Amino acid sequence: MAVDIYNLSELVSSILIFILSIFLIFKIGKSLKLNENEIILIFCWHSFFAFFFMINDLLHGHDANAWYNKAHIGKDFYFGNGFMYAFSSVLQSLQIKYVAQNLIYNLLGTLTVFIFYSKIKDLCKYKSNRNFFLISSLFVFLPGLMFWSSGISKDSITIFAFALMYYSVNSKFNIYLFLFSIVLILLARPFLIAFFFAGPYLYFFLKLLFDKKTKYKKKIVYILILILMFYPLILITNIGFFYLGHVQNVIQYDLVNIYSLVTGYMQSSKTFYDSTNLGIPADTFFLKRYLYFLYMPLTITQEPASMYFSLENLFFLFVTIIIIKKFKFNLKEINALTLSYYLSILVLFLFIPIIFSNYGIALRYKWLIIPYFLLAFLDLRKKIK
């Protein structure tokens, strides 16, 4: 369905949102210790791909077009798709039209890059990381990140929410930004919330297990308590079923039912994409699925989009080799919340390639993971002599 962007309301709302965006990027960019040239460069670079995303959506009618054209507030509100329809409907009621809405999502994507770049600058000020500043900066300026954090999409919201949460815990804890990021994830992709409970859980479990000061008997008691605490995590996992769409108006609390539902989804996904060229072959060994998730497609083809993503994945592979070769393990100067965040991302990475089977999800979801692998690499190296 076509979107009419040639009207006065569209023009006025776009101008107002653009002016607001300019004000916010300079205010927030300077608070992140970015200079004016860096702020302008990042905003213009991201806006270029946001414009490409919007034109592509207008011409071919992808998800963003659907969120806008079918915008409504349903009687039975649900997370994920339901939120996207409702949010677009609210914005339209305020006369914030299609282009203006894309500008809002472009702002979120720009702020995401601000956070990544500012953290890279901060971590690369240490002598041990200075040689990695250029390649790390190139990494977060890749068109893949710019594209998937643009436009009216759940990807833009989720990628921004992940970055905002990382920023809220990485230095001085900011409870307001932390809670806001949780709300954004809950609204856009609620099943991802479970991983941010799993990370702290794993952190405390490992901390207790390797704590030399705690006596053996106390460790046993504490570990039993942590095991009992696992059940509430299962309850939280139920939120994700609204997103998966397999359960409507029913919450499953039983671990067996949850396991059956997830494995059923995994199998149906494998079966569906096995008959197309858009997914991972169903008989792929599970360890190889991680390579597919990170580095496919790798084959250079004549199709422009596939050619670019292949080159981007070759760059990922190059960065991976550097990370493995230069990896250091220094937990000093990293606070518990940041370590918990890194563990959450690690758990997410362990599960996502197993659950999903198509390349499209891999191309988007990897941006929820790989920037934090790079940041963790730099973080663990800092103050290494």
pLDDT in tens, 216-270: 777 677 677 766 666 666 665 555 555 444 444 445 555 666 667 777 777 777 7
Per-residue pLDDT at 159 exceeds 80: yes
**Does the pLDDT at position 276 exceed 90?**
no
What confidence score (pLDDT) does residue 238 get? 58
Share of the chain above pLDDT 70, in %: 83
What is the per-residue pLDDT for 347? 92
Which residue spans within the chain are E strands per DSSP? none
Is residue 376 pLDDT above 80, yes or no? Answer: yes
The answer to whether 355 and 273 have CB atoms below 8 angstroms apart is no
> What pLDDT does 180 receive?
96
Q: In the structure, what pLDDT confidence band is assigned to residue 323 with cuts at 50, 70 and 90? A: very high
Q: Given this model, what pLDDT does residue 208 score?
A: 76
Phi, psi (deg, nearest 5) at residue 230: -65, -30
> CB pairs under 8 A, 24+ apart, for 129-132?
129/378, 129/381, 129/382, 132/322, 132/326, 132/378
Structure-block tokens of residue 84: 């996207």
Range with top average pLDDT, 5-9, 294-298, 322-326: 322-326
Q: Would you state the pLDDT for residue 246?
A: 44
| Residue 336 main-chain phi, psi, to 5 deg | -60, -40
- Tell me, rounded to whole angstroms, the distance of Cα 219 from its chain centroid: 35
Peptide bond into 190 cis (omega under 30): no
Give the lowest-confidence range in 155-159, 175-179, 231-235, 304-308.
231-235
Q: Quote the percentage of the chain above a pLDDT of 90.
A: 47
* Residue that wins the pLDDT comparison between 203 and 49: 49
The mean pLDDT of 206-225, rounded to a whole number, is 73
Q: Which two tokens mark 352?
A: 């996502």
- pLDDT-derived band at 325 (thresholds 50, 70, 90) equals very high
Dist. CA 341–CA 195, nearest whole Å: 9
Residue 95 has pLDDT above 80, yes or no: yes
What are the structural domain ranges in the chain?
1-152
* Max mean pLDDT range (73-77, 358-362, 372-376): 372-376
- pLDDT of 103 reads 96
Q: What is the CA radius of gyration of the chain?
A: 22
**What is the pLDDT, as a whole number, of residue 247?**
46
The DSSP code sequence of 35-87 is -HHHHHHHHHHHHHHHHHHHHHHHHH--HHHHHHHT----SS--STHHHHHHH
Q: How far apart (Å, rounded) are the C-alpha atoms in residues 309 and 279?
A: 15
pLDDT digits (tens, 9 = 90+) for 22-49: 999 999 999 999 999 999 999 999 999 9
As a whole number of angstroms, the distance between CA 65 and CA 1 comes to 7
Cβ atoms of residues 227 and 206 within 8 Å: no
Q: Give the pLDDT of residue 197.
A: 83
Q: What is the pLDDT of residue 293?
A: 85
